[in-house]
Amino acid sequence: MWAGVVTLFPEMFTALTGHGVTGRAVKRGQLTVEYSNPRDHAHDRHRTVDDRPFGGGPGMLMKVEPLLEAIAAIRAKAPSPPRVIYLSPQGQPLTQKRVVELAQLDSLVLLCGRYEGIDERIVEMCVDEEISIGDYVLSGGELGAMVLLDAVTRLIPGVLGHADSAVEDSFSEGWLDCPHYTRPEEFAGQRVPEVLLSGNHELIRRWRLKQSLGRTWLRRPELLEGLTLSKEQQQLLAEFICEQET
């Protein structure tokens, strides 16, 4: 996966490229991140990248010209025609379903706005898709870009070893993950569920599935609405619900 990032703060991305699973993916060449800074494409004496909004109102907007040049510069580095994504509260919510789809692409350009946003003509001329990481307002698009790249990178074949497969992750099946435990077997008087110590892999699989479905029913019931559960999954969820009512 090649990702070109248009940002005033490329140094922020060391949080993604320098640490953990994503940092390892970069070292292995599974993920390549390159940058284009609109400041480098602002040619006036003060290297101005923002300006006041027409019609008045608070704050500033990112200027068209430096952005357009910065986008052209990063597109020129892409190994294949990239999908251009603008991180914005006006975008479609980022879901695991969309992450799976984006992980199939060879190259992405992520446009990170600052100030109150970008001139709408840039969206119309350059952006293929607007994506939001949640219904709240951040100081810029960089954190959203890193969230998207982290989630996508985990799905690149070979990035996650068998030890931490993405298959078991929350949302990989459309529901929440089950509870997890590690040593000690008892801590502060709380024991690990006996089934997990049983060595019976079929019982463990069923317990984990039941807990995942039950936890989803309790915390995020709307996620179940879009799913077709198997007979086993329906039975396990019914058992969980019954146990809640006793």
User: Distance (Å, rounded) from C-alpha 176 to C-alpha 121?
Assistant: 39
- Is 89 one of the annotated active-site residues of the chain? yes
Annotated catalytic residue 51 = no
38 forms part of the interface with ligand 4HQ (CB under 6 A): no
Q: Per the annotation, does 214 bind a ligand?
A: no
Active site residue 154: yes
140 forms part of the interface with ligand 4HQ (CB under 6 A): yes
| Under rule CB under 6 A, residue 58 binds ligand 4HQ | no
Reading the block at residue 168, the tokens are 């078991």
Name the H helices within the chain: 14-17, 20-28, 64-75, 96-102, 120-126, 142-153, 201-219, 222-225, 231-245
Helix (H) or strand (E) holding 84: strand 83-93
Task: By CB under 6 A, tell whether 133 contacts ligand 4HQ.
Answer: yes
60 lies in the site for ligand 4HQ, by CB under 6 A: no
**Nearest CB to ligand 4HQ, comparing residues 40 and 116:** 116
* Residue 135 among known ligand-binding residues: yes
Complex with ligand 4HQ: residue 135 or 225, whichever CB lies closer? 135
Active site residue 66: no
Using CA atoms, how far apart are residues 163 and 85, in angstroms rounded to an integer? 32
Show the CA angle centred on residue 36, arms to residues 31 and 39, nearest 5°. Answer: 150
Residue 31 is a binding residue for ligand 4HQ (CB under 6 A): no
| Residue 177 annotated in ligand binding | no
39 residue type, one letter: R
Residues 64 and 122: beta-carbon distance below 8 Å: yes
DSSP secondary structure letter of residue 8: S
Instruction: Please tell me whether residue 174 binds ligand 4HQ under the rule CB under 6 A.
Output: no
Q: How far is the CB of 153 from ligand 4HQ (least distance, A)?
A: 18
Size of the site for ligand 4HQ (CB under 6 A): 14
Tell me which residues in 88-107 interact with ligand 4HQ (CB under 6 A).
88-89
For residue 224, give every residue at least 6 positions away whose Cβ sits within 8 Å of its Cβ, in sequence order, or none. 175, 213, 216, 217, 237
- Binder to ligand 4HQ among 117, 178, 214, 240 (CB under 6 A)? 117
Residue with token string 């006793």: 246
Interface ranges with ligand 4HQ (CB under 6 A): 87-89, 113, 117, 132-134, 136-138, 140-141, 144
Active site residues: 89, 116, 154, 169
